[in-house]
């Protein structure tokens, strides 16, 4: 290649260097995203497997016992949130409950439920599981410390949700974490094995163009 003017040669050289740097930056970013996704996937797989396996080993009938008296619902705390997953918005209701037992008040864990596949303003809140003044059965732990899978809402871990159901929820959470880990791992591998070489080849072709 020959240039008729020195200024034109300098300009073309500067553009070539700039494009090379741009491709190098793109390659670094894509590779970093890929490795980050792989790392996240591995962590989720390990954590999800441990969380689910631990839940399977729990014995809620032995770990908790039903309190001799009922608990009374004193207040219902409601919040809502919207999440977007690439296909649309989803509206969730989050409820937690203030309940009393023998004159002391406690707060339950948060209970979330899908309200509507869309924006929250397009729907009405779900009906809460409990209402103020309602008497409900409750449980106390027989062991300390209490496993995280039981999802205590207060320091005493008094519960108005059946511990047996908490274990099932924890197992589902472990499975969801593993599924998310597999997806992240696959995306990361594809990013490193396919996208990064594609960006590198595109840069090489541009250099020789």
3-state secondary structure the chain: CCCCCHHHHHHHHHHHHHHHHHHHHHHHHHHHHHHHHHHHHHHHHHHHHHHHHHHHHCCHHHHEEECCCCEEEEEEEEEEEEEECCCCEEEEEEEEEEEEECCEEEECCCEEEEEECCCHHHCCCCCCCCCCCCEECCEEECCCCCCHHHCCCCCCCCECCCHHHHHHHHHHHHHHHHHHHHHHHHHHHHHHHHHHHHHHHHHHHHHHC
* Least reliable range by pLDDT among 3-17, 115-129, 170-184: 3-17
pTM metric for this prediction: 0.63
Mean of pLDDT values over 128-150: 93
Question: What's the pLDDT band for 53 if we cut at 50, 70, 90?
Answer: low
In the structure, what pLDDT confidence band is assigned to residue 87 with cuts at 50, 70 and 90?
confident
Q: What is the mean pLDDT of residues 65-69?
A: 94
Q: What is the mean pLDDT of residues 41-67?
A: 78
Share of the chain above pLDDT 70, in %: 72
CB atoms within 10 A of CB 190: 13
Give the pLDDT confidence score for residue 55 in this predicted structure.
66
Q: What is the mean pLDDT of residues 29-58?
A: 74
Q: Which residues pair with 139 in a beta bridge?
A: 66, 159
Q: What is the pLDDT of residue 68?
A: 94
Residue 18, pLDDT score: 55
C-alpha dihedral, 96 to 138 to 161 to 44, nearest 10°: 100
The pLDDT value given to residue 96: 96
Q: What's the mean pLDDT in 128-148? A: 94
Q: Are 66 and 162 in contact (CB under 8 A)?
A: no
Joined together, the tokens standing for residue 21 give 């740097």
User: How far is the CA of 8 from the CAs of 14, 15, 63, 208, in angstroms?
Assistant: 10, 11, 80, 18
What's the rounded mean pLDDT across residues 132-139? Answer: 96
pLDDT of residue 52: 66
- At 2 the pLDDT is 47
């Amino acid at each position: 290649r020959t240039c008729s003017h020195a200024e034109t040669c300098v300009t073309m050289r500067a553009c070539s260097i700039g494009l090379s740097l741009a491709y190098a930056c793109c390659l670094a970013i894509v590779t970093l995203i890929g490795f980050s996704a792989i790392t996240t996937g591995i962590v989720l797989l390990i954590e999800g497997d441990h969380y689910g396996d631990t839940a399977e080993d729990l014995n809620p009938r032995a770990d908790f016992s039903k309190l001799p008296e009922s608990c009374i619902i004193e207040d219902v705390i409601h919040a809502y949130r919207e999440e977007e997953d690439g296909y649309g918005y989803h509206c969730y209701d989050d409820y937690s409950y203030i309940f009393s037992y023998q004159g002391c008040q406690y707060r339950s864990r948060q209970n979330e439920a899908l309200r509507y596949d869309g924006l929250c303003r397009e729907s009405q809140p779900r009906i809460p599981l409990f209402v103020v003044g309602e008497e409900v059965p409750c449980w106390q732990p027989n062991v300390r410390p209490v496993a995280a899978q039981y999802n205590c809402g207060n320091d005493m871990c008094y519960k108005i949700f059946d511990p047996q159901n908490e274990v099932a929820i924890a197992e589902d959470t472990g499975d969801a974490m593993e599924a998310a880990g597999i997806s992240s791992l696959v995306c990361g591998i594809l990013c490193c094995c396919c996208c990064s070489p594609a960006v590198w080849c595109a840069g090489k072709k541009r250099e020789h163009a």
